[in-house]
Amino acid sequence: MTVSLPELQSVWLGRMHYSTALDLQRSLFERRKSGDIPDTLLTLEHDPVYTLGRRSVQDHVLAEPATLAAIGAEVVETDRGGEVTYHGPGQLVMYPIISLREAELGPVTYVRILEQVVIDTLRQFWVQGHRVVGKTGVWVGGEPGSKPEAGSNPAGRKIAAMGVRVSAGVAMHGLALNVSTDLTYFDHIVPCGMPSLAVTSIFAETGASPGVSSVAEISAGLLAVMLQRRLVTVGIDHLTA
């Protein structure tokens, strides 16, 4: 007898302002908590924005207001975990709105799954990503599985950041993977609370610039497999109906 897997509905939103995507996330988050919708994945790019997670230090935004205006970036406080990071064009952002309770996953295991999605996605583009002990996210270069000395940055270059929020057993927010991101935007912050952190992208590592929507499609499929979900691609109208 064939057992039907629970559904993961996925939508590509294209480029969207951060506050618009956050409002959509919050709406879907409440609907998922009440059981009105299945697990849902939003994939998109953002207009340039620096987001401050719950552990952020305001001084870690180094740019003055005039500089922020000149580069067309805003600063937004949000309720995800982690510290300050950058989102912008050329970066894949994934917001899985997932019932961890139904999936029987703890928050730490869930974040490890998100990291593995990135690592497996990078492999499709001949980039070798890995974890760093004691740090959340995915790195390129350095020594896989290494643990940095206290007070020092990990060796290598960070290519993906993670930050989630869990309430009533449901997760929101997610991950950001640099595909062809303009990495100079990271010069204006202390990324993830690590001064002089080296950051990279698929393009910086390979010289090739895959489309963000194509990377999103690969990552969505990998996430569905890891969560043991049946991926169903929907449009934005389906989410707001």
All structural domains of the chain: 7-240 (3.30.930.10)
- Catalytic residue list contains 34: no
CA-CA distance, 138 to 177, in Å (whole number)? 9
Rg of the chain over CA atoms, in angstroms? 17
More confident site: 152 or 103:
103
Six token digits for residue 181: 């991101």
CA-CA distance, 107 to 67, in Å (whole number)? 37
202 CB-near residues (< 8 Å, 6+ apart): 122, 125, 127, 159, 177, 178, 179, 180, 208, 209, 210, 215
Q: Do residues 112 and 135 lie in contact, with contact meaning Cβ atoms separated by under 8 Å?
A: no
**Measured between alpha carbons, how far apart are the two ends of the chain, in Å?**
34
Mean pLDDT of 88-116: 97
Q: Which one is catalytic: 192, 202, 216, 231?
A: 192
Q: Do residues 14 and 151 lie in contact, with contact meaning Cβ atoms separated by under 8 Å?
A: no
Q: Please give the pLDDT value at position 3.
A: 64
- 């620096």: which residue's tokens? 50
Task: Give the model confidence (pLDDT) of 5-38 as tens digits.
Answer: 899 999 999 999 999 999 999 999 999 999 999 9
pLDDT band for position 1 (cuts 50, 70, 90)? very low
CA-CA distance, 176 to 156, in Å (whole number)? 18
- Helix, strand, coil: what percent of the chain each, to 5? 35, 30, 35
Q: Please give the pLDDT value at position 232.
A: 94
Q: Please give the pLDDT value at position 241.
A: 67
Task: Give the model confidence (pLDDT) of 138-196 as tens digits.
Answer: 999 977 767 777 767 888 899 999 999 999 999 999 999 999 999 999 999 998 888 88
